[in-house]
Amino acid sequence: MTIRIGNAPCSWGIEFPSDPAYPSWQSVLDQCVAAGFDGIELGPIGYMPEDPAILAPALAERGLELIGGVVFRPFHDPDQWQDVLDASRRTCAALAAHGAPHLVLIDSMSPRRAATAGRAAEAEQMEAAEWRAFRDRIATIARMGHEEYGLTVAIHAHAAGFLDFEPELERLLDEVDDTILKICLDTGHHSYAGYDPVAFMDRHIERISYMHFKDIDPEVKADVVANRTGFYKACGQGIFCNLGQGDVDFPAVRQHLLDAGFSGWCTVEQDCDPSLPGTPLEDARANRAYLASIGFDGATA
């Protein structure tokens, strides 16, 4: 059994296809390798080249594997369905071209949920018909990714979306066939929502196909939840700290994966604000060193 550790463009602040503040995709690949990783996610579709004739040699010359990709789109908004579908098809095609196994679906942030990130008791809930349509849009993309492109598709909870909190995430899991939809557990977002990611692993380890490793500063979390701070502003305040410095119990996460016989990729995601001074390369190195120090050495048996 081998647990491999990768990284993702969001650790360099890449949240959208383009922004003047972003480093080039070539620079992100170079820094990912320099930090000690041998795998990387695609990032938002349109950031890295979609033409495999361009991206494949760039990955190969650096010894990098493409792990997977994320569709971070408003699944909650029926008026945006064509955008969701287009981004999903493009992402699936890009991943399949490189043999990358993981497609991750994330309901992006909604103004209806922005102020209640981390405040489950106050969060607006969908009406029954709205929920059913939302669920079915997710299931449609999951089935497409699994059946048409051969990908392992997983749902990922995210602050300020409509799958932010455990009850709604578990409701979705109950209502969508587990043959087409697995779980990508993001340790940081799970903690942001007010839950224990290790306890969630206890209940759902058999359905977890992929992990996003993220840590969260408990003091910053308490402040941004209390003040209803927006997600990107919270990132700028450093809510997602280096691994091992926050409230996620990564040794316990590792043990749960080992006990379950988990094999494959786990990806570091340290969301940051690219417009602020920072050192993503140094953070990436520190995160890789921390994971190695607790036994994630790339050949964990």
Q: pTM here?
A: 0.96
| 131: Cβ contacts below 8 Å, ≥ 6 apart | none
Question: Would you say residue 1 has pLDDT above 70?
Answer: no
**21: which 2 tokens?**
């503040």
Considering the chain, what is the average pLDDT of its residues?
95
| pLDDT score, position 300 | 45
Placement of tokens 């050192």 in the chain: 279
> Is residue 105 classed as helix, strand or coil in its secondary structure?
strand
Q: What one-letter code names the amino acid at 178?
A: D
d(CA 219, CA 32): 29
Question: Would you say residue 299 has pLDDT above 60?
Answer: no
- Of the candidates 191, 226, 218, 301, the one whose C-alpha atom is nearest the C-alpha of residue 257 is 301
**132: which 2 tokens?**
């059913």
Question: Would you say residue 13 has pLDDT above 80?
Answer: yes
> Where is pLDDT greater, at 279 or 192?
192
Which ranges constitute the DSSP H helices of 72-118? 81-98
d(CA 230, CA 115): 7
Whether the CB-CB separation of 9 and 43 falls below 8 Å is answered with: yes
Which ranges constitute the DSSP H helices of the chain? 25-34, 52-62, 81-98, 128-143, 149, 166-175, 187-192, 197-204, 218-226, 231-236, 250-259, 280-293
Question: Would you say residue 298 has pLDDT above 90?
Answer: no
Mean pLDDT of 85-97: 98
* Overall size of the chain counted in residues: 301
Question: Would you say residue 55 has pLDDT above 90?
Answer: yes
**190: which 2 tokens?**
């799970």
CATH of domain 3-293: 3.20.20.150
Domain parsing of the chain, residue ranges: 3-293
> Is residue 41 classed as helix, strand or coil in its secondary structure?
coil
pLDDT band at 301 (very low <50, low <70, confident <90, very high): very low
> Is residue 251 classed as helix, strand or coil in its secondary structure?
helix
Say how many C-beta atoms besides its own lie within 10 A of residue 107's C-beta.
28
Give the pairing of strands 264-268 and 208-213: parallel
